[in-house]
Structure 1
């Protein structure tokens, strides 16, 4: 459906008069840039087969290879290899900008043709310079023969009737087909504890969730650009709330059982479709009454959907504990805070806000949609490392104007959604790169200064957006639903202004931003009182997954920096590990000279963190805290940052609070409770390694979040030097002879081919391995070489093979699946296969039995006789090995050194180990990088990274949900 502007005709000369800010008079934005041709080629990471190829594409020279690859593969339209295929970024941007400009002219937005040209040039300049980006559906659809859907976020509704429920399935399917996501609240559906008019018992909403989940999974499998993304919400007073809370936790138990039985239960695995509820995020909609009952420890009533009467009471704290326990087990459900959400609702006379989009940032009326755009904050950092608030505000004015224009020509998946969107014109301007901006300014993410800067920028963004919305209302009229909601809308504007007045600035940088924000909110009140507002909603903070990479952002949405070291794609293929480029700028801002900066950056490149970096002051550590790694942010640091920004957003924030695997249920309870008290609209959590559907988890047992100086001091105190009575031997390297017995094994794991060569000592014990996987010179081949060296050195220094086997078997990551080895039919990863094979080749039966590793003959013997009776060994244990138990070394951080006493008797003394001592497993982790609790990309196999409550691939831009 396509809108006309309510039949209004703009008065002559009444349109916007626009000032040229970014572009240059008389020069097209493209002509200011140096353009170059590139080849974009993508290959299947398993088979090496080329899956995409377009050569000679045109981009500005400052666009990264990553950005140009993602845009070419995802956003260029037309069949590859035909004349209809777009081949230049100019064509893509022109397709969007010219469509917006024409619609603005047709609908009376501009005072003159000259103003329309300024709008076109300014929007082009902002896009080509990566200052902002529209959401993905705009790039997919605008200016093409396809329906011109511009919205990424949808909210549906469902009533307590079979017609409505089946219609829900259909509408959701159409939205998924277009690559977007939807959410809805199921609380109108009668519970399984209520009767039907026929006398039978209702099925309840959870039963209908099964059908919707299966539908979403089927459509996802049909070849959409990304997984189906959906949100399912249930009110806390629904009689089926406990069943809803436990749905995904119970399914996670099933996933674990199936995994242990040998099924492929990884995210995207062949067997994961046998479990339910995996295509949705679940959220409980809690109200203030319930949260107060949790605080007071009182009972809470569950109410009939038909009559509203209480049909059951529960202990509020017990239910709250079950919610938190389920989230601890599987990350679902999150919480949405109903009274807070609706207290900031501009349209309560039309209806309550009952649900959100899949990532929880868009919260508005049922059957509505929102189009998004995000600014790259780092682009507005001036040379003196202060934020250019004036330039930022000017950019917001152009962008919010364009976003509103898009509703004039947009198409929608259903008539009801189209009508609501046209009548209320919900927009979702936001930003990315906050984490990088704060670091560059020398501000810690979890600091008062960092939060003050984030709050003032967010306030300025939303204040400027509503100011422009009020100006547009004076030109093309307020939104159709404004009249009936005018008082409520103005009340929310006053709430935003009051929140702005409470922000405590800490320095000149945020004070300058705050002054402009204060003036913007004053203008909102004045202009809005005269004209009304063009848009019911203006701002949200979305995950900015794919478009964040399009803008070459280091961080997405409101997220902190993910890690201090990242991978950069290179021209011609391959990638290299680099230190984030924001770090040198931050160090110079903090007063470090070039020599110190160089040394600190080199240290970060080697260690991945700043702890003990040369010349770096400990009070500056917080500036470089990240979401993962040795100085990971505390969970409440994420919550406090969201709380700083939330009062200045029309909608909410897409963000997940990351928790370590050691986090407790009580900690999750506290996060949910504090989020409510701090005024958040929604909260989601993720505890590391809580789900099976992930290839790796963060390393366990390492010194995360502690300074090694402090740790070493504690160790030295405990490990006082003393003489050990019995003779022990220092770790010495037992090298293999020049000529040794070796065996080479070819293998296939999940379609990936490799070779393993293992060399043995004269006594038959394993002494070295060599792994060949991937092409020579590739990153994978290099990692395998380094891994082989680390394991071989560990073996030669006396680390028992069984230690490596116990550590590396059952590790889960791609490639995984069927093998061509009769003894090991299924492997969860290459590492899992390699060490099972080594165990079978070099460990005695008694040791393997304790590890649960058997040959095919032994398993068959067990089926026939009930015993694994060992197959006779063939020399693996011909000699007796002296095994050094390294556990005491690890526990006391000391090493054993042999010294010669004056009486020529050999004794051993213990001395503190240097702070850099590592186990072989830790060395491997340094080589391969910190493991991240994220899925692999369905398209290219690259490890994805979190973006809000979704995941995004840095290799090809595919996302697990929102744009």
Structure 2
């Protein structure tokens, strides 16, 4: 794949010209750091299970407008040097200088700048954009650039493996080096012979799936970037490979194993102690489908699977049946996704060099084998002007500078293998993208799943890629085109014309997107004209990455192309603790839509309480769509995600890292439709996630009846018979029952998710609870003050006669951070401090019958249920042997143990069959097989009893609930990801 450096002569001819860098963001004569206010902060993180301090760095320096969350993530993830030594970075200035000065030196060393003054302007402009959170480079840049480590700048790698043992073992080694550098890799295994083909020795080949085991084990032991995050990888297999069915069903069968092990009592959650015993969990799997296969699916015809050595059809399958197996496996475990081979290669700028066969782990980078791509993402919300229009010229100026910096980085970058380094230097693939699209559209008053939202997204994406390629053509005139350009010139220019033609088809909806589109049109004409004259410096320019950790670094509300996940978030407070806040984009959106301050305040208060906009006071129905989110009461329809990707895909060199979220009730047929429509709409790749399809990653909004049932909450009951109307008017005057001067009280210390606190409760002479005092947070802090006020309000309510069971029913199962494990044997998990407090009070002050109605039980009562099938005290039931028989007796019926073990399942099966829906009608008849699948095991019953079912994956580092970022998950608390850049 190595090319002769065809641009060397032109590079020599252009030597000395260099770029003139205009000053557009920074101020002449003033360093960017001197324009802002800096402050010192302490960054301390504790282990969410033990409360032990796992990270502490005090007096780190950040701009005052950076959030606590952003500064925490940057300090823990990106600062280099051993803690407690002089080598440790102590502030953002050091971090940015380390990176930017290296980029400036790289540009000077390779003749990018016309004068030293241009180099200085480049440094100041790049510094200004970074310190003001306008963009961020991908994580490997922050890990490695300017340090003693290899200068690895790429986050995305594509490897290659052939049908030989040497190549397969080399694959394992290369992946390991890439993971160690903080990046991820993908590859296509389709060249490896199937298990249905013969070896030259006469034996049968193992097949690619068997070799996936070794690579999976290797990935599971290597933490990327020195324990910064899990290894990320993608495995692709062509749909015509004879082992395709085995590949498709591999992870679904492992998910069955995970469920069985969990039911047996093993810890199979994400990051659990026993999850490593199952295989294939460290990779995303994708099937590479062709147009031929998809047309066969549409037509209901057969499809041939071809031997790898001869290319001959060795087996014929029903295309629809295979497509159904793919969709069913995705329904069961979210894998595999699909990659659309013909679409991908139709937009390929380098077909003369080789086909695109694979992608990086998140499917956004698609290019040649043995290549890499460095990424950078812009924060779109930074370009929203005060009049709520998008600042297209300023955005284009930022893109121009960032593309220049990204290309410079290839000049000084190190690579894990020489083939990857050679291909990357010859083709210089870049991956500029953006984050915060969902927040931007909301702030502009545009629905994510609306024509206006899609038009704006398409125009911005087109402008970004058009500007990038225009700058690439200008760079080619200064430092020469990429080495492989001459061989692929015609194809590259054809793809540029395809982008231009797609831009011409964008249908703008308003002045705002029309202005962006007009500038994009100008840029694409420059691309075509300059490209003919100069060629291009880069084979690829743009992708849409998940932007997990770097999204938090930029204080983005939404990641990548994703919509907003929810309307309410948790904000860390200086001095510790967190508080629930409504997204700050919402008030801006409401004002854009014409609501006055009083209306805005009322709607925001409603959202804060309910988490959605349905029935919000004064909010017009036609504006609901603006506030639709990925999950929740008004969750976007699956095709809303697909249509947004389809609007942006024609303006990207690569693809889009995005997961189409589906509710738990989604069917296999609905997944088939998502995959089919994604192909028809021209996407390059699609991944889906059905709510709660994975044990280790149960992402749930917690609002459905099934979710409530799992969490021990009450579902809607059938309507009661109407009571006769009473025409009597009674006026009640509340009376306050004060506590005696001297009363019995108890003080309980507790820990919830690593947060420590104390609760003191006082009782009347009759034992009824009369007051509660909570101590949480530092004295004088906001959190401590809020807890004091809350305690007073609850105490007064109790004394005026509000029953404790009312408080318990309202506050138990309330979810917010901190949450997680507690140090209380009776309440092992809590969804929040409030959830724990009122469960504990119920156990201390309510009788058994009342608690049973509320679903609050002690550890002893839960154990009794598992052993006897009842929570009742033994004295009320008789001995355990009378309930289930004396199972320890020598002559016990051998079937008795089996009967006892299935009592719980039988009970739940009956419950499932007899469940009413929310309107009081009878539930549908449930087939026996489905009833069996729905049956709860004893472990799941324990979750139902205690209300501790997790409604999102917990971060393995800090225990905070994670949220989606592309096809992965990212922690809002510490920035850790489940395997993305």
Q: If the TM-score is normalised by the length of the shorter chain, which range does it land in?
A: 0.7 to 0.9
Indicate if the aligned counterparts of 1:697 and 1:931 stay in contact, CA closer than 8 A: no
Query: Alignment partner for residue 336 of structure 2, among 308, 333, 351?
Result: 333
Q: 1:18 to 1:228 in 2, by over 3 A?
A: same
| Whole-angstrom distance in 2 between the partners of 1:853 and 1:266 | 31
Q: 1:799 to 1:248 in 2, by over 3 A?
A: farther
Worse overlay, 13-22 or 502-511: 13-22
| Whole-angstrom distance in 2 between the partners of 1:689 and 1:540 | 29
Shift of 1:841: 5.2
Query: Alignment partner for residue 857 of structure 2, among 838, 841, 845?
Result: 838
Trace 1:601-612 onto structure 2 (pairs within 5 A).
Answer: 601-612=604-615
1:12-66 CA distance string (max 9 Å, x none) = 6521122211111222111111122222222222333222222222211111111
Q: 1:795 to 1:193 in 2, by over 3 A?
A: farther
1:743-781 CA distance string (max 9 Å, x none) = 9999999999999999999999x9999999987989899
Corresponding residue of 1:949: 967
| Whole-angstrom distance in 1 between the partners of 2:158 and 2:870 | 50
| Whole-angstrom distance in 2 between the partners of 1:24 and 1:800 | 57
Q: 1:323 to 1:150 in 2, by over 3 A?
A: same
Shift of 1:845: 6.7
Worse overlay, 754-763 or 174-183: 754-763
Count of matched residue positions in the alignment of Structure 1 and Structure 2:
884
Q: 1:571 to 1:10 in 2, by over 3 A?
A: farther
| Whole-angstrom distance in 2 between the partners of 1:633 and 1:789 | 38
| Whole-angstrom distance in 1 between the partners of 2:886 and 2:226 | 44
Shift of 1:116: 1.5
Shift of 1:177: 1.2
Corresponding residue of 2:153: 150
Query: Alignment partner for residue 138 of structure 2, among 122, 135, 140?
Result: 135
Q: 1:21 to 1:503 in 2, by over 3 A?
A: same
| Whole-angstrom distance in 2 between the partners of 1:658 and 1:142 | 36
Q: 1:143 to 1:426 in 2, by over 3 A?
A: same
Shift of 1:516: 0.5
Worse overlay, 403-412 or 774-783: 774-783
Corresponding residue of 1:462: 465
Trace 1:288-307 onto structure 2 (pairs within 5 A).
Answer: 288-307=291-310
1:115-157 CA distance string (max 9 Å, x none) = 2122111111111111111001111111111100000000011
Corresponding residue of 1:81: 84
Shift of 1:698: 2.5
Query: Alignment partner for residue 864 of structure 1, among 872, 876, 888?
Result: 888
Indicate if the aligned counterparts of 1:210 and 1:277 stay in contact, CA closer than 8 A: yes
Shift of 1:386: 0.6
Worse overlay, 153-162 or 222-231: 222-231
Trace 1:779-858 onto structure 2 (pairs within 5 A).
Answer: 815=820, 838=857, 849-850=868-869
1:667 matched to 2:670: yes
Indicate if the aligned counterparts of 1:438 and 1:450 stay in contact, CA closer than 8 A: yes
Corresponding residue of 1:248: 251
Trace 1:754-765 onto structure 2 (pairs within 5 A).
Answer: none
| Whole-angstrom distance in 2 between the partners of 1:364 and 1:618 | 45
Indicate if the aligned counterparts of 2:48 and 2:821 stay in contact, CA closer than 8 A: no
| Whole-angstrom distance in 1 between the partners of 2:821 and 2:332 | 25
1:126 matched to 2:129: yes
| Whole-angstrom distance in 1 between the partners of 2:723 and 2:496 | 71
Trace 1:600-639 onto structure 2 (pairs within 5 A).
Answer: 600-639=603-642
Q: 1:763 to 1:95 in 2, by over 3 A?
A: closer
1:62 matched to 2:80: no
Trace 1:180-259 onto structure 2 (pairs within 5 A).
Answer: 180-220=183-223, 224-259=227-262
Shift of 1:291: 0.6
Q: 1:341 to 1:761 in 2, by over 3 A?
A: farther
Query: Alignment partner for residue 448 of structure 1, among 446, 451, 470?
Result: 451
Trace 1:874-953 onto structure 2 (pairs within 5 A).
Answer: 891=919, 934-953=952-971
1:435-494 CA distance string (max 9 Å, x none) = 111111110000000000000000000000000001111111110011111111011001
Corresponding residue of 1:311: 314
What SS does structure 2 have at the residue aligned with 1:864? Answer: coil
Shift of 1:183: 0.5
| Whole-angstrom distance in 2 between the partners of 1:929 and 1:562 | 23
| Whole-angstrom distance in 2 between the partners of 1:196 and 1:30 | 65
| Whole-angstrom distance in 2 between the partners of 1:748 and 1:28 | 46
Query: Alignment partner for residue 263 of structure 2, among 244, 260, 264?
Result: 260
Corresponding residue of 2:904: none
Corresponding residue of 2:492: 489
Shift of 1:685: 0.4
Query: Alignment partner for residue 436 of structure 1, among 417, 439, 443?
Result: 439
Query: Alignment partner for residue 521 of structure 1, among 508, 521, 524?
Result: 524
Shift of 1:185: 0.6
| Whole-angstrom distance in 2 between the partners of 1:158 and 1:136 | 27
1:384 matched to 2:387: yes
The TM-score with structure 1 as length reference comes to 0.83
| Whole-angstrom distance in 1 between the partners of 2:283 and 2:416 | 20
Shift of 1:934: 3.3
Q: 1:180 to 1:96 in 2, by over 3 A?
A: same
Shift of 1:694: 3.2
1:524-545 CA distance string (max 9 Å, x none) = 0100000110000000000111
| Whole-angstrom distance in 1 between the partners of 2:870 and 2:456 | 54
1:815-837 CA distance string (max 9 Å, x none) = 569x997x99x989999998999
The TM-score with structure 2 as length reference comes to 0.82
| Whole-angstrom distance in 2 between the partners of 1:271 and 1:736 | 53
| Whole-angstrom distance in 2 between the partners of 1:345 and 1:776 | 58
**Structure 1: unaligned runs, 5 residues or longer:** 705-713, 726-732, 870-885, 894-924
1:273 matched to 2:276: yes
Indicate if the aligned counterparts of 1:182 and 1:230 stay in contact, CA closer than 8 A: yes
Indicate if the aligned counterparts of 2:436 and 2:558 stay in contact, CA closer than 8 A: yes
Q: 1:454 to 1:945 in 2, by over 3 A?
A: same
Indicate if the aligned counterparts of 2:155 and 2:374 stay in contact, CA closer than 8 A: yes
Aligned-CA RMSD value: 4.4
1:830-889 CA distance string (max 9 Å, x none) = 99998999256569978974469999x9599855135999xxxxxxxxxxxxxxxx9999
Corresponding residue of 2:933: none
| Whole-angstrom distance in 2 between the partners of 1:393 and 1:619 | 33
Worse overlay, 930-939 or 619-628: 930-939
Q: 1:530 to 1:601 in 2, by over 3 A?
A: same
1:490-547 CA distance string (max 9 Å, x none) = 1100100000000000110111111110010000010000011000000000011111
What SS does structure 2 have at the residue aligned with 1:838? Answer: coil
Worse overlay, 156-165 or 84-93: 84-93
Corresponding residue of 1:959: 977
Query: Alignment partner for residue 348 of structure 2, among 341, 345, 349?
Result: 345
Indicate if the aligned counterparts of 2:463 and 2:516 stay in contact, CA closer than 8 A: yes
Q: 1:403 to 1:615 in 2, by over 3 A?
A: same
Corresponding residue of 1:914: none
1:478 matched to 2:481: yes
Trace 1:7-18 onto structure 2 (pairs within 5 A).
Answer: 8-9=11-12, 11=14, 13-18=16-21
Query: Alignment partner for residue 164 of structure 1, among 162, 167, 178?
Result: 167
| Whole-angstrom distance in 2 between the partners of 1:838 and 1:736 | 29
Indicate if the aligned counterparts of 1:752 and 1:815 stay in contact, CA closer than 8 A: no
1:661-713 CA distance string (max 9 Å, x none) = 11111111100000000000000000111111136633253599xxxxxxxxx
| Whole-angstrom distance in 1 between the partners of 2:277 and 2:50 | 27
Query: Alignment partner for residue 32 of structure 1, among 28, 35, 38?
Result: 35
